[in-house]
Structure 1
Amino acid sequence: MDGLRRDAARNRARILDAARDLAAQDVPLALNAVARAADVGVGTVYRHFATADELEETLVWEQLDALAEILRHAEPAQLEHVLTAHFTLLVEDAVFERVTARARPVLDRTATTRTALVGRLANLLERARTQGAVRADVDAAGVLLLMCGLAHAVRSAEVAADSVPARALLRVVLDGLRAP
């Protein structure tokens, strides 16, 4: 951890590990619960994360970075792959879904990354649109709304992202994005 003492870096790692474990069990990430799970004082958690929102955003930075890497090299023919990867992350990770759906990120890094991701998606959509593969009346923000809405519905129905019903619904959305 940049700029952290060794013990502080160790505590931060314990907090993040405990938060990941709780999130995997669908336990809400209340900072008191995270402190208990990490076996640190609640004050220690608050020194690293002022709010649960900050903790949640920090937990999904790796997923955001992975999505950025996919988008960085994506060609228009890979749009389906990009959207499927995003959909899968949204369905499989409730914290990622919450952070993605959040109107305004609380951490600068999250805001910057998210803005860059939307920009890359917009660029990819424009290149696909130029090739006649994507309809002209849907922008990146609209596509993200569709993915978030679909993922939320699938998650709420407790259906796996790779299940036949989830893939059929995703196919409807992907087919709907195609140019007429």
Structure 2
Amino acid sequence: MLDAARARIASGDLELPMNAIAKDAGVGVGTMYRHFATRRVLLETLAADSYAALIAEARAAAENPDVAAGLAGLLRAALRCQLDDAALAEVLASSSYECAETLELGRELGEVSLQVLTRARAAGVIRDDVTADDMRRLTCGIRRAVDSGDDSDGTAADRYLDVVLKGLRP
């Protein structure tokens, strides 16, 4: 079922119609709903591995002795993970979760992001009024901006992120 859902996402279908996924997976729709009570639960399940990978990258950013590079690394990782995994991008674009595992991942990412922000504020690298949720929203916005236009040379994400990083300075 997850493979069928991933195939739909890879083809650009983020609607994740449960009936169609069940058919693609060769199972009944009741089986889909027994495993994934809602489309949102399915989406969060699909994003879990990428979410965990993002947290690992966030931890590395928090431990970077170069505070500015750590902040930039966190934002680049968040953006890259969203560009690589449309399910994660959809999950991060929401402010609420249905799965306990996703709630825990969100809590963990928030804590690590706050560590990066606290260090960045203390070092004078970032404005005092920027929050971890601001950073989440900004990376989600950049991902949408990259997706909305032609990025044939693959430079838009870095260019947009550089603009945001400059705007975050005190």
* Normalised TM-score (structure 2): 0.89
Pairing 1:21–2:7 present: yes
Q: Is the CA contact (8 Å cut-off) linking 2:50 and 2:85 kept in structure 1?
A: no
Q: Which amino acid aligns with 2:83?
A: V
Aligned counterpart, 1:4: none
1:94 aligns with 2:86: yes
Amino acid at match of 1:167: D
Report what 2:168 is aligned to.
Answer: 177
Name the aligned partner's letter for residue 170 of structure 1.
Answer: L
Unaligned runs of at least 5 residues, structure 2: none
Q: How many residues align?
A: 164
What is the deviation of 1:134? 1.6
| 1:29 Cα offset (Å) | 0.9
**Contact 2:54–2:81, Cα closer than 8 Å, also in 1:** no
Write the distance in 2 (CA, Å) between the matches of 1:146 and 1:89: 14
Matched letter for residue 26 of structure 1: G
CA RMSD of the aligned region, Å? 1.6
CA contact (8 A) 1:60 1:95 kept: yes
The range that moved more, 68-77 or 137-146, is 68-77
Match of 2:148 in 1: 156
2:44 to 57, 62, 82: 57
* Aligned position for 1:69: 56
Aligned partners of 2:74, 2:105: CA distance in 1, in Å?
16
Give the distance between the partners of 1:158 and 1:25, measured in 2 at CA: 18
Point out where structure 1 has 5 or more consecutive residues left out of the alignment.
1-14
From 141, 149, 159, the equivalent of 1:168 is 159
8 Å Cα contact 1:91-1:152 kept in structure 2: no
| TM superposition score normalised by structure 1 | 0.84
